[in-house]
Structure 1
């Protein structure tokens, strides 16, 4: 019986290996590079492309290096995108539609604008291809351990189709429904998390100005119902003014702008969000866009210090 089970497992494994498709990956930055590395390390054949030659060089001898985005399309059945914003994704999707996407699946792991994703989804479907949004939650280091969360939006059959590949870098793979829903969920994740950070950025400088010890206040808050992972991750580097890089302030501004656009779509106010964006615009104006999002507190410190 044990021998028979082993034979069946081997047959299933061999069948899976036969059906595994060639993959493409465009965008080898912090998160994209980590996800692509996880796909390569688990035996997938991947064709990669990035404008940054240093990012590409890390995959020399491990993956096929493409000369442009179209070559990735031509050599791959499934193409992953991991780019900073919709404005970087759109030219590639347009180029792919012009070149032909019949039988191809494009997976956008970027934090893109959901309405743009939905519009391209329809166009890809009409052209015989498929576009999926697969927004990523987690840190790049989680990818190698298969510990990311991948937020899926698209057709049910594509959710099943992509499952073996997503399992290389994620252990949570919820199907959130139709096209754009994965990107919407990620934007809302970031809206909630960044709102917490924005509150910390206002509360702790005020506490210091009123004579409280910020570290003591942090320790006390962490022992209440207000303590959470976001507070524990962000506040120490905010009050110590180290601003260790995890997520660029300018990217947070982009994501929150997308969120603001969604409120505008339904013509309803976004009271808290408007204040967050005002703070971020001030920080970017003062040259903090490339810094970690935690650096938004430095804007408040400067106001309190009269700078």
Structure 2
């Protein structure tokens, strides 16, 4: 069992840190809102720290799951950042969905400080974090990854090293591109079925068993039909992810016309007041 820190106790980080504690790891947590960290300790044990540096001091592994590139830099760098407190050879594992550029930047900074870095964005959403069934896509050194994989599997059903630093973030971008197209297609399919007067529950039951079946259909099709969106992975988070990957596409020359269009559709959902709705709310803009 490892002596670890976890930085960021949002809807993903809090349950992930909880799984680490339940697996027997000694966990120290940090959150910008101190009350959240104290509440986590009351529920899970361990300890809380006032700064990322304090949380990271003498830890074997430091995990983080925060909002974006700037949030990540704020908990990693500077006098109060995690890197300032970590011992030589310790590993920083970043679960934030961020840019491949910041992953490479922080990997280089870690190496310069005698530390090690793994970028490790996740898929599975809040439900996957709570059930310990996330999928983790990692970038970094193979030997370093092998050291931290057992701890990652405390809250993941699958984890894999995808290549050097930044590869985890690039793989997460592929994941989000695939999801965006599937959710838009499912939205249009349900919308069409309703206009055609079909029993959508029956339609979903039969087509989910064929080539059209997907995780989105199985887990979101019925709630989309019922126009229930007050749960899951928020539209504003998806737009952040799409912004990152569209920028990467402009850099590497990838053509992403469908993804760019779906990003515009999500902008419409935000304008409808749906920034915190689940990403399956794409159907709402078709049914206005």
**Shorter-chain TM-score above 0.5:** yes
Higher Rg of the two aligned structures:
1
Asked whether the equivalents of residues 16 and 129 of structure 2 are also in contact (C-alpha less than 8 Å), the reply is yes
1:249-302 per-residue CA deviation (whole Å, 9 max, x = no partner) reads 111111112221121012343111111011011111222111111122111111
1:93-124 per-residue CA deviation (whole Å, 9 max, x = no partner) reads 22238736543321101111112211221122
Asked whether the equivalents of residues 7 and 75 of structure 2 are also in contact (C-alpha less than 8 Å), the reply is no
Aligned match for 1:42, one of 23, 29, 40: 23
In the TM superposition, residue 178 of structure 1 has moved relative to its aligned partner by 0.6
Secondary structure of the residue aligned to 1:25 is strand
Q: How far apart, in 1, do the equivalents of 2:233 and 2:261 lie?
A: 20
Aligned match for 2:180, one of 194, 200, 203: 194
1:33 corresponds in structure 2 to: 14
Aligned length: 283
Q: How far apart, in 1, do the equivalents of 2:137 and 2:255 lie?
A: 27
2:69 corresponds in structure 1 to: 86
Aligned match for 1:263, one of 249, 256, 259: 249
Structure 1, unmatched stretches of 5+, are 1-19, 303-307
User: RMSD of the alignment, in Å?
Assistant: 2.2
Secondary structure of the residue aligned to 1:39 is helix
Aligned match for 1:124, one of 107, 110, 119: 110
1:51-75 per-residue CA deviation (whole Å, 9 max, x = no partner) reads 2345321322701111122211224
Q: How does 1:101-120 map to 2 (within 5 A)?
A: 101=86, 102-120=88-106
Q: How does 1:207-286 map to 2 (within 5 A)?
A: 207-286=193-272
Secondary structure of the residue aligned to 2:287 is helix
Secondary structure of the residue aligned to 1:107 is strand
Q: How far apart, in 2, do the equivalents of 1:235 and 1:164 lie?
A: 34
